A = this chain, B = another copy of it.
């Protein structure tokens, strides 16, 4: 955060300026989510990668804002899709303003993201981010089809989180070397850094849903469980479970066992089978790959910050 503080002021100025509309509900609803304690992780990655490459300009401010708009649009739509009531410790926009407003303001932010990219004018950046957006939507749809499907396996799970989460992390990092004209090797390395970091981040997110409490994380613990989401903790616990436990998981994921007692049993099982620990171990693996992707860049503040970000992705609160 320190590394990119000044650039982040520039990004925030773009975000605040471009989420405006003469239709008052748009900045009101968007502001609730954008101003409301978001970590700006993805734009921060764009800025840190640009710093790594000693990029001297400010073109990336607009593009980092576009990345945050795409992310915000997907959050708005995700909360509608999941019927979520809580995000970052606050009531979700769909609860306050209803699903229709959340869907449409998401569409607005998504369009605005493309307007920002078009203003920048790089077709290569547009290609990276329009492709990432399509991949994200594909991942979300695949996640929907895997929901309540107990036979979902780790390969499919990794494909889903690679699309729904890691694609935007990868794109956020990838556009920095494009803007900095740092060459294909830097592009490949930073795309890989972002992609692996994104996978690690989502793995830990999925652990947190079984390991934290609402107060700590500002997200309803047990949401994934009640939604019948096949995340890696469940996939591993189901694969390793006794006949009894497997019957419980089938029933729970199908939606037939979702009381607080069922959640307590599920948490007990993901811990007892080491499913949580091993999911974190998988996350460590991807974080290490992310860090190794930075090997060829010179040491310095930016590289240290990106390394720290990858370490933090697996050590944050669970």
Q: Taking beta carbons and an 8 Å cutoff, which residues of A are in contact with B? A: 21-26, 73-74, 77, 80-82, 99-101, 103-105, 107-108, 110-112, 114-115, 117-118, 121, 123, 126-127, 130-131, 133-134, 136-138, 140-142, 144-145
Contact = CB atoms under 8 A, between A and B. Distances in A.
B126 A118 contact: yes
- Residue of A80, A121, A134, A136 ringed by the most chain B CB atoms within 10 A: A134
- How many chain copies does the complex carry? 2
A206 to B, nearest CB: 19
Contacts of A123: 118, 121, 123
Contacts of A114: 114, 126, 130, 133
A26 B138 contact: yes
Nearest to A163: B23
Given A137-B111, A141-B108, A100 B121 contact: no
Contact of A133 (B77, B80, B111): B111
Nearest to A119: B127
A101 B140 CA distance: 9
14 contacts: A23-B138, A77-B103, A80-B99, A80-B100, A104-B144, A107-B136, A110-B110, A110-B133, A111-B133, A111-B136, A111-B137, A118-B127, A123-B123, A126-B126
